[in-house]
């Protein structure tokens, strides 16, 4: 059916394109005839890709067919439908939308089109870490965020827990009674009252809570958990359900003291964000200005003036060039710029300019956002990477990154240097590693990699031999883990390190050879030899067994010198006291030569 909407209208299109929401317009058969840029930015689909297609291309499979049948029945009967949808982007990413779908009627009251206005509420859903659909949604939250979810049904006075919540509490059996009471006892005594009061306020006053408190599960493991709730009201404006989540944040809390200063700086930067909206005429002069940033400087400082007049020739040039480009190319332009604030500190902004048309008049619409914290964060990331490179170089550690789909293998300079190569001499492919690895080590390493890929092990570590450019073999400690997975949970990328341990391996082999030689001399010596740890015999050779009249080594091992000695030595000194004296002497001199009378097993004495 031909649409009566004038989608091509510049005023209509401009209004839709500037709307900060995803807009989809279909004909009466449900075929898409228009989407705005916000829809494209959010979903990844362009208008050409979705034209004449049904909005079901966004279906994630979460909602049932009956759900969509009811939706269609509502709007086709001329009513407006409102609700939440779990949809899927072009790249497969799931996202939540709060949608309002409304039929559009002509003058005769006939439905000519449907329009959907949708807000991305993914962040809100993730922040709440649960939803209103009991077990199914709770299980989804569990899989996606490793957070335990719960729902309390006020009317039924009944709690519903996700599997992860049982695990966090340490409950082996899910069929437990008095969930709330037993859960409350897991909280630290000093925090139990806070949690209980917060829950009651949520129940009776619809006041949500977000608490980070101490916790000890049923197995005695001490933790920190973040417990959150959201009250859901019925049509009578009474709380009918409470949706909550519990997340183990032990690691975050333990790290919090170390990064407190950094966090405070970051929080200050985030709180300083000041977005503002403005319009410019064809000469780049400000015709309207909105936002806190403009209020702090005064709108009179901007209105009627160009960026050159406000920021100076050097700073204003970037703005003027962007405006000229928008007017000339009639395309949107984005750019970044910086300015000193009133305190003399440098701030960074991201500005997006787009063309506005009113009849024959052209204006430029701009939206600027303070990105000072993002710029600083990027710089900190770069510094972190530099520190990581320095650390890897100090450790002489080579790094590798394997894309399992393309078999591309990216290694660093040190990885190549350990094997005598320059980085540009090695092909960035997994076959490079296979060709350089010793055949005897290749098979066993691939088996370890398979166990890692199929979830049998969280990481792998092994020793392998790799051939140096000049032909000799280098012993490598190879360690890696999965660092990325696809939407189905299959590993798509492995990464790890190579460390040259040749010196260590050769030293171990030399030590083993030395120990073997020592053992051979020890066992074959005709002189009786006893090895003590403290005052206990831990080893002896065959000569000592025969000499002392025993049949097996096991009869001697575990005895003390006193047990194979007479009560007194020939000079009348107590064997116990003489042994104590000799031990003290040994501690200071490290060696001692003396005579000692032993007692054979058959009571025959000798000297």
Longest dimension (CA), the chain: 130
Query: How far is CA 34 from each of CA 16, 102, 105, 235, 281, rounded to the nearest angstrom?
Result: 10, 15, 17, 35, 29
* 131 and 239 inside one domain: yes
What confidence score (pLDDT) does residue 318 get? Answer: 87
Q: Look at residue 189 and give its three-state secondary structure.
A: helix
Sign of CA dihedral 541, 546, 547, 549: positive
Q: Is residue 517 a part of any domain in this protein? A: no
Which pLDDT does position 6 carry in this prediction?
Answer: 55
Please say which residue of 103, 120, 137 terminates a domain. Answer: 120
Q: Edge-to-edge strand order for the sheet containing 239-248?
A: 158-161, 148-153, 239-248, 222-233, 210-216
pLDDT of residue 273: 43
Residue corresponding to tokens 């052209």: 362
Same domain, 27 and 114: yes
User: What are the φ and ψ backbone dihedral angles of 321, each rounded to 5 degrees?
Assistant: -65, -40
CATH number at residue 444: 3.30.450.20
The candidate with the shortest Cα–Cα distance to 71, out of 105, 111, 100, 32, is: 100
**Rg of the Cα atoms in the chain:** 38
Query: Do residue 254 and residue 144 come from a single domain?
Result: yes
Q: Which helix (H) or strand (E) holds 153?
A: strand 148-153
Inter-CA distances, 208 with 232, 235, 259, Å: 10, 19, 28
Q: What pLDDT is stored for residue 231 in this prediction?
A: 92
- Blockwise average pLDDT, block size 10, the chain, 607 residues: 53 75 91 92 92 91 88 91 91 91 90 91 71 51 66 89 86 81 91 94 93 92 91 90 89 75 48 66 83 60 83 85 88 86 80 83 84 78 62 69 90 87 91 91 85 78 91 89 87 87 80 77 82 86 87 88 88 87 81 83 52
Instruction: Please answer whether residues 336 and 346 qualify as being in contact, where contact means their C-beta atoms are separated by less than 8 angstroms.
Output: no
pLDDT recorded at residue 295: 57
Q: What angle do CA 297, 301, 306 make, to 5 degrees?
A: 125
Q: In this structure, is residue 550 part of a structural domain?
A: yes
Q: List pLDDT tens digits, range 503-562.
A: 888 787 777 777 787 777 788 888 888 888 888 888 888 888 888 889 888 888 888 888
pTM more than 0.75? no
Are the CB atoms for 356 and 362 separated by under 8 Å?
A: yes
Can you tell me the distance from the alpha carbon of 150 to that of 155, in angstroms, rounded to the nearest whole number?
16
Q: Which residues of 538-570 are buried (b: 16+ CB within 10 A; e: fewer)?
A: ebbbbbbbebbbbeeeeebeebebeebbeeebe
CA distance 183 to 9: 60
Query: What's the pLDDT at 607?
Result: 42
| pLDDT computed for residue 195 by the predictor | 94
Final residue belonging to a domain, choices 211, 235, 258: 258
Classify residue 545: in a domain, yes or no.
yes
Among candidate residues 20, 52, 60, 58, the one with its CA nearest the CA of residue 36: 20
Instruction: Determine the length of the chain.
Output: 607
Separation of alpha carbons 400 and 415, rounded Å: 8
Q: Determine, yes or no, domain membership for 315.
A: yes
Please state, in angstroms and rounded to a whole number, the distance separating the CA atoms of residues 453 and 478: 16
**185-192 CB contacts, 8 Å cutoff, 24+ apart:** 186/215, 186/216, 186/217, 186/218, 187/213, 187/214, 187/215, 188/213, 188/214, 188/215, 188/216, 190/214
Residues 298 and 345 in one domain: yes
- Buried b or exposed e, range 121-156, using 16+ CB within 10 angstroms: bbeebeebbbbebbeebbebbbeeeebbbbbbeeee
Answer yes or no: is 600 within a domain.
Answer: yes
In a domain, 301, yes or no: yes
What are the pLDDT digits (tens) for 278-289? 888 888 888 877
Cα–Cα distance for residue pair 511/604, rounded to 1 Å: 41
Q: Within this chain, do residues 139 and 246 fall inside the same structural domain, yes or no?
A: yes
- Residue 574: DSSP 8-state: B
Boundary residue ending a domain (436, 471, 505): 505
Query: Are 297 and 403 within one domain?
Result: no
Write out the two tokens for 3: 């649409």
Whether residues 161 and 238 fall in one domain: yes
pLDDT of amino acid 455:
75
* pLDDT reported for residue 209: 93
216, 221, 225, 229: CA torsion to nearest 10: -60
Q: What pLDDT does residue 412 have?
A: 85
Please give the tally of structural domains in the chain. 5
Say if CB 182 and CB 176 are below 8 A apart: yes
State the distance between the two ends of the chain, measured CA to CA, in whole angstroms.
119
Indicate if 59 and 141 belong to the same structural domain.
Answer: no
Copy the structure tokens of residue 128.
């709440």
pLDDT on residue 518: 76
- 298 and 316 inside one domain: yes
**Nearest partner of 266 among 344, 381, 367, 343, judged by Cα:** 381
Q: Is residue 3 part of a domain?
A: no
The answer to whether residues 465 and 473 touch, using CB atoms and an 8 Å cutoff, is: yes
The reply to whether 275 and 245 lie within a common domain is no
Structural domain that includes position 473: 396-505
- The string of DSSP letters for 276-309 reads EEEEE-TTSBEEEEESHHHHHH-GGGTBT-BHHH
Cα dist. 112→25, 417, 561 in Å? 11, 69, 106
Query: Looking at the structure, do residues 114 and 149 belong to the same domain, yes or no?
Result: no
Please list the residues that pair with 606 across neighbouring strands. Answer: 598
Query: Residue 324: inside a domain, yes or no?
Result: yes
- CA–CA distance, 118 with 83 (Å, rounded to integer): 10
The Cα 562–Cα 580 span in angstroms is: 11
Residue 228 CA neighbour count, 13 Å, CB half: 18
Do both 136 and 235 map to the same domain?
A: yes
**Vertex 101 angle, CA 117 and 22, to 5°:** 20
The answer to whether 142 touches 160, Cβ cutoff 8 Å, is no
């Amino acid at each position: 059916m031909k649409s009566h909407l004038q989608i091509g209208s510049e005023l209509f299109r401009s209004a839709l394109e500037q709307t900060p929401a995803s807009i989809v317009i279909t004909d009466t058969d449900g075929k898409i005839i228009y989407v705005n840029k916000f829809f494209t930015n959010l979903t990844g689909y362009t208008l050409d890709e979705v034209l004449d297609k049904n909005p079901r291309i966004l279906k994630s499979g979460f909602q049932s067919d009956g759900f969509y049948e009811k939706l269609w029945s509502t709007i086709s009967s001329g009513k407006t439908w409102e609700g939440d949808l779990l949809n899927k982007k072009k790249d497969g990413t799931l996202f939540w939308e709060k949608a309002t779908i409304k039929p559009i009627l002509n003058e005769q009251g006939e439905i000519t089109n449907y329009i959907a206005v949708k807000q991305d509420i993914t962040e809100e859903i993730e922040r709440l870490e649960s939803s209103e659909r009991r077990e199914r949604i709770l299980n989804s939250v569990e899989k996606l965020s490793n957070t335990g979810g719960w729902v309390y049904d006020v009317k039924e006075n009944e709690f519903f827990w996700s599997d992860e919540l049982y695990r966090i509490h340490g409950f082996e059996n899910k069929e437990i009674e008095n969930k709330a009471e037993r859960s409350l006892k897991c909280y630290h005594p000093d925090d139990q009252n806070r949690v209980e009061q917060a829950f009651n306020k949520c129940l009776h006053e619809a006041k949500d809570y977000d608490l980070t408190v101490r916790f000890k599960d049923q197995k005695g493991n001490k933790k920190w958990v973040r417990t959150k709730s959201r009250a859901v009201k019925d049509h009578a404006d009474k709380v009918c359900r409470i949706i909550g989540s519990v997340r183990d944040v032990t690691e975050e809390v333990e790290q919090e003291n170390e990064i407190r200063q950094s966090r405070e700086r970051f929080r200050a930067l985030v709180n300083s964000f000041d977005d503002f909206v403005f319009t410019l005429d064809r000469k780049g002069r400000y015709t309207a200005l909105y936002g806190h940033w403009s209020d702090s400087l005064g709108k009179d400082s901007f209105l009627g003036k160009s960026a050159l007049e406000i920021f100076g020739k050097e700073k204003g040039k970037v703005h003027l060039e962007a405006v000229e480009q928008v007017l000339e190319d009639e395309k949107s332009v984005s750019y970044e710029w910086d300015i000193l604030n009133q305190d003399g500190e440098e701030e960074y902004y991201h500005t997006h300019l787009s063309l506005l048309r009113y009849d024959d008049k052209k204006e430029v619409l701009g939206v600027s956002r303070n990105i000072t914290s993002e710029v600083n964060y990027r710089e900190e990331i770069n510094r972190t990477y530099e520190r990581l490179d320095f650390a890897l170089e100090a450790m002489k550690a080579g790094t590798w990154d394997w894309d399992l789909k393309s078999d591309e293998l990216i290694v660093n300079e040190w990885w190549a240097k350990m094997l005598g190569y320059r980085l540009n001499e090695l092909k960035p492919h997994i076959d490079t590693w296979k060709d350089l690895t010793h055949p005897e080590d290749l098979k066993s390493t691939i088996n370890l990699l398979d166990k890692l890929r199929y979830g049998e092990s969280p990481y792998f570590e092994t020793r392998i031999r790799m051939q140096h450019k000049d032909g000799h073999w280098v012993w490598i400690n190879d360690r890696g883990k999965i660092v990325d997975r696809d939407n189905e949970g299959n590993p798509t990328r492995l990464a790890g390190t190579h460390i040259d341990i040749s010196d260590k391996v050769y030293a171990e082999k030399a030590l083993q050879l030395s120990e073997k030689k020592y053992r051979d001399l020890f066992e074959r010596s005709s002189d009786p030899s006893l090895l003590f740890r403290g005052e206990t015999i831990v080893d002896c050779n065959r000569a000592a067994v025969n000499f002392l009249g025993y049949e097996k080594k096991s009869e001697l091992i575990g005895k003390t010198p006193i047990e194979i000695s007479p009560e007194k030595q020939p000079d009348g000194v107590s064997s116990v006291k003489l042994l104590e004296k000799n031990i003290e002497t040994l501690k200071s001199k490290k060696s001692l030569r003396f005579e000692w009378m032993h007692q054979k097993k058959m009571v025959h004495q000798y000297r």
